[in-house]
Amino acid sequence: MVRIPAKALRDRDTVWVVVNNELQIRNVKIAHIDLDNVYISGGVQIGEKIVTSPIKGASKGLKIRVVGDKEIGAEKTSKRRGQKMEGSKGKWKARLKNSKND
């Protein structure tokens, strides 16, 4: 399972991914959504570059220039929602929420 920012979700089950500086449009399988994140069980791989900004005229194959290209991307999470796994490539901080269900 991978975690991406909620603002990266397009329509209901689509994300934009940058591969070789080109836009790809992917359908994804959503496992869970919370206020800040979407947990995906299929359609993107750990470390892929996910577009979070709006792009006017977005279409498959559109040439993309990534600004601030650091080690960012979809990251691996444990089955406990929001808990970042050791060794994941993402640099986002895990936001653990106190929950009676955990």
Q: Sign (positive/negative) of CA torsion 45, 47, 51, 52?
A: positive
Residue 50 half-sphere exposure toward CB, CA atoms < 13 A: 30
The pLDDT value recorded for residue 78 is 58
Of 77 and 2, more confident: 2
Question: How is residue 66 written in tokens?
Answer: 């990534």
**Structural domain boundaries enclosing 24:** 2-76
Of 10, 41, 37, 39, whose CA–CA distance to 26 is shortest? 10
pTM over 0.85: no
- In the predicted model, what is the mean pLDDT of residues 66-79? 60
pLDDT in tens, 4-29: 999 999 988 999 999 999 999 999 99
Task: Read off the pLDDT band of 65 (50, 70, 90).
Answer: confident
Query: Is 54 part of any domain?
Result: yes
CATH of the domain at 44: 2.40.420.20
Query: Is 70 part of any domain?
Result: yes
Order of all β-strands in the sheet with 29-33: 29-33, 37-42, 2-5, 75-76
Query: Is 29 part of any domain?
Result: yes
Number of domains in the chain: 1
